[in-house]
Amino acid sequence: MLRIAIADFKQESNSFSPVPGDWPHFQQSGYLLRGAEILDQLRGTAAEIGGALRVTDPRRDIEIVPLLAAGTGASAGPMRRALFDALLSDLLDRLRAAGPLDGVYVSTHGAMVAEDLDDATGEVLQAVRHAVGPNLPVTASCDLHANVTRRMADAVNALVGYQTFPHVDLDRAGGRAMEILLATLAGAARPVTALCRLPMILPGENGATTEGPFSEVMREVIALESEPGILSASAFSVQPWLDLPDVGCSVVVVADRDPALARTHAERIAGLFWDLRDHFPVARTPLREALHRALQSDRRPFVLSDGPDAPSSGSTGDSTEILKALLEMPFDKTALLNIVDPDAVERAIRAGVGQTLTVSVGGRLAPAFFSPVEFTGTVRTISDGRFTHKGAAYRGVEFQRGRTVVLQSGPIFLMVMEQPALQWDPELYRSVGLEPADAQLVAVKSPTGFRAAYAPFAAEILIPDVRGIASPDLLSFPWRRIGRPIHPLDTLNTWRTPPIGGVFIGSL
């Protein structure tokens, strides 16, 4: 019998968010599962652990030891250190209490930062490695926006990234990490890792794998993975709002027993990725122009991508920019918006369904970026805020967003939530009785992840020029600690430029 421990610990941090990652981000915007709850909740889902279990479930000779699954669909600033330490201790206590193990699989994001701890993912993976010793196989999966550090790559036998953005292959990444773990245990593979780090950060809007420059990189990555001797290939277009000395895009190739093969291909793909760096900046439509186009069209729905306020990119989800502009425009077609404001939720619940009230909403969590707006609306629905994804990303996983109300003011339906929520799935709106396909305008706080579910029915997707903590205008941020030189803050000729750029071969 093989005994394999599994764990999931992820948050995506944004250095420019004034809101630290704290317990509610996991308890009310994500999931926090322990022991057997993990199997109950994640088996059969499209999450990483769902994919890993699909690999192990048919095997009667494998016992899965579930440790901890802590994830948040809403990112924030760096995590409170006490929260990070508590979750990591919980994970490690369960790992030590697990008894004899043959291997460990850890699902991570890879861009998690805690207070006074820049490389929190590396800390988790190193702690797992330390707990199990140097010889036990450990594999990990990462989001495509991971900041893959040398420390992370050194801690595990193999590191597997998502190959899609919008992310629709979380389960594939988890399944692949598990397959490599099992092959290693069987002696059928001995993974060796080459990590190329590129001194560059890129906006997310043009980072899709379905079209545009990053799709060219990913095509090579996916083709490589089917070549002999290659166990896994990944390219990471890093979460760019990380003001850290050691941040950059990367390419990871895991080969079987052949470090030179891993290195050759990793360097080749890193070169291709680097050569495309000037193709990533995104054209944005002035906000009022975008709203006019959406509201005057006889097609629907127009989806407005508010990436700068994407909770999945670490923003607060309480930007009022689009709402403010809409309130100043006469129109009669339905518009769906959402915003975080626990006080407004409380007041609306006290007033009750059918009552009309005036509240100041949003704009409080990040005053450097957003400001509140006065909104008079009628309370249409009140709910506990739970919703389950139905699209390819996290299908079957239940997310929370705290108590949630819908306020209606004429054609504007404003969903107000206690906590920020992942915005990739139309269930965000459908779960409170609002149908995005029937609306004229739908605001989605996501740069790209929403496209997988929304593009099939959207008349058009627009990227309005709005401010925010996750703006694609990377030159506009007050960078203080970021490692220099780095593209696009500096002009560089080669991705091999130190201190960030270079090739590292994993030591395991």
Name every residue whose Cβ is closer than 8 Å to that of residue 172 and which is 6 or more positions away in sequence.
Answer: 51, 162, 163
Cα(405)–Cα(485) distance, integer angstroms: 46
Comparing CB distances to Zn ion, the nearer of 25 and 145 is: 145
Stretch that binds Zn ion, among 44-52, 142-150, 301-309, 493-501 (CB under 5 A): 142-150
Cα(155)–Cα(174) distance, integer angstroms: 17
Total interface residues for Zn ion by CB under 5 A: 2
- Please name which of 315, 309, 359, 358 lies closest in space to residue 337, comparing C-alpha atoms: 309
Name every residue whose Cβ is closer than 8 Å to that of residue 86 and which is 6 or more positions away in sequence.
Answer: none
Distance of closest approach, residue 145 Cβ to Zn ion, in angstroms = 4
Comparing CB distances to Zn ion, the nearer of 270 and 470 is: 470
Distance of closest approach, residue 30 Cβ to Zn ion, in angstroms = 14
Which DSSP symbol is given to 13? B
Comparing CB distances to Zn ion, the nearer of 145 and 284 is: 145
Name every residue whose Cβ is closer than 8 Å to that of residue 120 and which is 6 or more positions away in sequence.
Answer: 11, 13, 78, 79, 84, 112, 113, 114
Stretch that binds Zn ion, among 75-83, 115-123, 135-143, 341-349 (CB under 5 A): 135-143
Tokens of 361: 């909403």
Comparing CB distances to Zn ion, the nearer of 143 and 154 is: 143
Q: Which of 145, 284, 380, 445 binds Zn ion (CB under 5 A)?
A: 145
E strand residue ranges, 227-317 = 230-236, 249-256, 285-286, 302-305
Tokens of 269: 């793909």
Comparing CB distances to Zn ion, the nearer of 163 and 316 is: 163
Comparing CB distances to Zn ion, the nearer of 143 and 318 is: 143
Distances, alpha carbon 425 to alpha carbons 80, 185, 307, 429, 477, in Å = 28, 37, 15, 8, 29
Comparing CB distances to Zn ion, the nearer of 165 and 274 is: 165
Tokens of 200: 């560059």
Distance of closest approach, residue 97 Cβ to Zn ion, in angstroms = 32
Q: Are 79 and 119 in contact (CB under 8 A)?
A: no
Per DSSP, the three-state class of 492 is coil
Comparing CB distances to Zn ion, the nearer of 108 and 320 is: 108
- Please name which of 350, 417, 353, 408 lies closest in space to residue 381, comparing C-alpha atoms: 353
Distance of closest approach, residue 208 Cβ to Zn ion, in angstroms = 11
Distance of closest approach, residue 109 Cβ to Zn ion, in angstroms = 7
Q: Is 48 an interacting residue with respect to Zn ion (CB under 5 A)?
A: no
Distance of closest approach, residue 313 Cβ to Zn ion, in angstroms = 8
Stretch that binds Zn ion, among 27-35, 145-153, 220-228, 345-353 (CB under 5 A): 145-153
Distance of closest approach, residue 69 Cβ to Zn ion, in angstroms = 18
- What length is written for the chain? 508
Distance of closest approach, residue 144 Cβ to Zn ion, in angstroms = 5
Site string for Zn ion, 78-107 (x = CB under 5 A): ------------------------------
Comparing CB distances to Zn ion, the nearer of 145 and 347 is: 145
Stretch that binds Zn ion, among 57-65, 143-151, 243-251, 462-470 (CB under 5 A): 143-151
Strand 460-462 and strand 302-305: pairing? parallel
Comparing CB distances to Zn ion, the nearer of 143 and 169 is: 143
Distance of closest approach, residue 110 Cβ to Zn ion, in angstroms = 9
Q: Is 451 an interacting residue with respect to Zn ion (CB under 5 A)?
A: no
Residue nearest to Zn ion according to CB distances in the complex: 145
Distance of closest approach, residue 372 Cβ to Zn ion, in angstroms = 29
Facing residues of 233 across strands?
253
Q: Is 143 an interacting residue with respect to Zn ion (CB under 5 A)?
A: yes
Distances, alpha carbon 293 to alpha carbons 257, 283, 410, 453, 465, in Å = 56, 16, 20, 22, 14
Q: Are 9 and 106 in contact (CB under 8 A)?
A: yes
Q: Within 10 Å of residue 327's Cβ, how many Cβ atoms?
A: 15
Distance of closest approach, residue 118 Cβ to Zn ion, in angstroms = 19
Comparing CB distances to Zn ion, the nearer of 41 and 163 is: 163
Judged by the rule CB under 5 A, the positions of this chain that interact with Zn ion are 143, 145
